Structure 1
Amino acid sequence: MLSDTQKQALEQQVETCYNQAECFFDRPFTRPAIQFNQRGKIAGSAHLQKQLLKFNPVLYQENQASFLLDVVPHEVSHLLVYQLHGAHVPPHGQEWQFIMTQVMKRPAHRTHQYDISSVAGKTFLYQCQCQQHRLSIRRHNRVTKGTQYLCTQCKTPLQKTAEQ
């Protein structure tokens, strides 16, 4: 559970990001609603049409400093791109990269590198011709319904193996 101080720090960082964008573009931007209920391995998400930011409280708590420096600007940049360019631009395209590097002054990384062991769900062991793979419960359930996944290396189908 996040403390009020932790929530306020994140909300303040969102405001700081918007202030930077308003100074850079010399125009106002609509502020989003903020929720702390993102689940799974995702650090944060931007819901464009809803003007909503969702953050993962577990990953935030475990990585507070870098979360504020990188995840918050990353998600705010998605909403800024939407307000500036509409929905018909790639999620991590040149418009988003420009805002990350020129406005937020942060590297334009698409994904975080946090340890996700505390939020990772159950996985299932699969095998191809060259290695073992761990599939999420979502992908495992899709396999049971007929979806077939191929190894990106050897291009052979993944087969369920007995758990060790």
Structure 2
Amino acid sequence: MLTTSQKKALEQQVEACYQQAECFFDHAFPRPRVLFTQRGKIAGTAHLQKNLLKFHPILYQENQQAFLTDVVPHEVAHLLVYLVHGRTAPHGQEWQMMMSKVMQRSPERTHQFDISSVQGKTFAYQCQCQQHQLSIRRHNKASKGVIYLCTACKKPLQPLNLHKPRLNINL
């Protein structure tokens, strides 16, 4: 559970990012709603049409400084790109420019946080070249007929049965 001061620190960083953008563009921007309800392995998301930012409370608690310096500007940049340019590629040149020139941060697409505390159960799958771990969501979709391909060998992933049948041997 996040403390009031942790929430306030993140919200202040959102505000600082907006003030930086307003100085850069000499234009006022509407402030987003900020929620701490992101789930899964994702640190944060920007909901463009809703002007909403969602942050993962557990990943934030475990990586507070990186959230404030990297995740918040990353998500704010998505909202600002939408306000300035309309719909664009999520991490395209407009977003990269917003990150580097306005936020003065490296335009990294993904975080490198340890997700072991938030990662749910995974299921083993195999292609021709390696073993993969699918989330329960992807496993359930695969069980219903969705075919996932390996990004390396482009072959379908097949579930691995890690439970070997026991032999009943009476001596």
With structure 1 as the length reference, what TM-score do the two structures score?
0.96
Match of 2:94 in 1: 95
Paired residue total: 163
Match of 1:61 in 2: 61
1:14-163 correspondence runs (5 A): 14-87=14-87, 89-163=88-162
- Higher gyration radius (CA): 2
CA distance in 2, matches of 1:129, 1:122: 23
CA distance in 2, matches of 1:81, 1:153: 32
Which amino acid letter does the alignment assign opposite residue 154 of structure 1? C
SS in 2 for 1:113: coil
Tell me how far 1:129 sits from its aligned partner. Answer: 1.9
**Residues 43, 55 of structure 1: 8 Å contact kept:** yes
Match of 2:3 in 1: 3
SS in 2 for 1:151: coil
Output one character per residue of 1:3-45: Cα deviation in whole Å (capped at 9) or x when no partner. Answer: 0000000000000000000000001000000000000100000
Query: What is the percent sequence identity of the aligned residues?
Result: 69
Which amino acid letter does the alignment assign opposite residue 148 of structure 1? I
Which amino acid letter does the alignment assign opposite residue 126 of structure 1? Y
Tell me how far 1:162 sits from its aligned partner. Answer: 1.6
Q: Which runs of 5+ in 1 are unaligned?
A: none
**Residues 123, 137 of structure 1: 8 Å contact kept:** yes
With structure 2 as the length reference, what TM-score do the two structures score?
0.93
User: Post-superposition, which runs of at least 4 consecutive aligned residues in structure 1 deviate over 3 A?
Assistant: none
